[in-house]
Copies of this chain bind each other. A is one copy, B any other.
Amino acid sequence: MKLSTESYKGVRDFYPQDQQFLNYLLATYRDVAKKFGYAEYHASILEPSELYKAKGAENAEMVSEQTYTFLDRGGREVTLRPEMTPTVARMVAAKRREFGFPLRLFSIPNVFRYERPQRGRLREHWQLNVDLFGSESRAADAEIIQVSYELMKAFGANESDFVIKIGSRAYINALITELDLDEDAAQKLVGLLDRKNKIEKAEFEQGLAELGVPSEKLSAAHVPADVQAVLDILSAVGIGNAKFDPSIVRGFAYYTGVVFEVFDTHEDNNRSLFGGGRYDNLTAMFDNESITGVGFGMGDVTMHDFLEVRGLLPAYHAPTHVYLAVASDAEVPHALQLAQELREHGVHVASDFGDKKLADQIKNAAKNGVPYLVVVGQNEITSGTFMVRDLSNGNETPASRAELASFFLER
């Protein structure tokens, strides 16, 4: 009875091409976050389940139904983290005296959701998390949006490729208080705003009327003061594709201030790519000192789709610059020495061990995407001249042993 070679359902195997793309994402995330002075942290995927249940019964239900949660052998309930925010809140609360605020942190965790596997709905994905703790300033809100913008640019996107829509949960909450809406009506209002761009204008207006909310209070022309302050700062640092959108409310209960979403403007992928906003009191579950924060999360699958639609996916490059094939077993020791010589110059070299015929060695190097190949045989060793074969077209270029390293480093 043979085992299946498939991965567990809903998760991915990362073959070299996939892993190279993931590494490109991670490197770009890191570059941009560090430019803004964010420090990287990380944690185990295993967390005590109570970390996610703490926010109330609704969360306890989410934990038991939508996460990987199990008992360890000591009877403790453990969860594979479904998001990073509770973890970073825990870590910041633990060392709040050692950190200086405002505190800038980022992480690139894998996160897990228990979902029925289906196209585009994975059980595990990687997610950049960027958070700024300890400032109430609108400039902090603006910075988080600026980091999002710079990420999009670092991936090769133009301003016309995406739009940053900004809303205000603080404004909506103030409106709810001002109009004295009860909890049910307040939820209906948030739900209605969330659907605004998916329904007809008349339906939206009618919904507002039913709730007794004057429609001019929620028109795109009526920009709340906090959003305007953020827009002014973004404009001052040269960002031209941010705008107020009253429909941006974000589902998560913990948002309390300015919220935003970055939308793809491409007609084939016209959807929210990622977003975030301001939250408060996330550390209140650990102690009595709350810390305010603003942040966002960005998933690897969504970014892959965006880059694919835009033709911005980077090409795969094999890690090997040159493959040394051997005419026979006898040349293996010589090939290994040549390989080591080239490595000392910074060339990435793999050598064959002569288990197969020369033609098969060449075929296998090409299969693995290696760009160049050099045959090491008695003639080449004696003459000191090697033929460098370009495996993409078969062209050959002669090079002396001394010239070999620079040949590859120049390409």
Query: Which residues of A are interface residues toward B (Cβ below 8 A)?
Result: 2-9, 11-16, 18-20, 22-23, 33-48, 50-51, 54, 68, 70-74, 76, 78, 90-91, 93-95, 98-105, 110, 112, 114, 123-124, 134-137, 139-140, 142-143, 146, 233, 236-238, 285-288, 318-320, 323, 332-333, 336-337, 340, 343, 348-356, 363-368, 370
Contacts and interface: CB of A to CB of B under 8 A. Distances in A.
Given A5-B93, A91-B15, A236 B336 contact: yes
Contact of A14 (B6, B22, B42, B136): B42
A8 B139 contact: no
A47 B3 CA distance: 12
Given A54-B3, A366-B100, A35 B355 contact: no
Nearest to A30: B23
B51 A3 contact: yes
Contacts of A40: 16, 19-20, 23, 319
Nearest to A335: B139
6 contacts: A5-B90, A13-B91, A15-B95, A16-B105, A33-B319, A37-B323
A336 B233 contact: yes
A364 B137 contact: no
A3 B285 contact: yes
Nearest to A316: B39
B34 A332 contact: no
Given A8-B46, A124-B46, A136 B100 contact: no
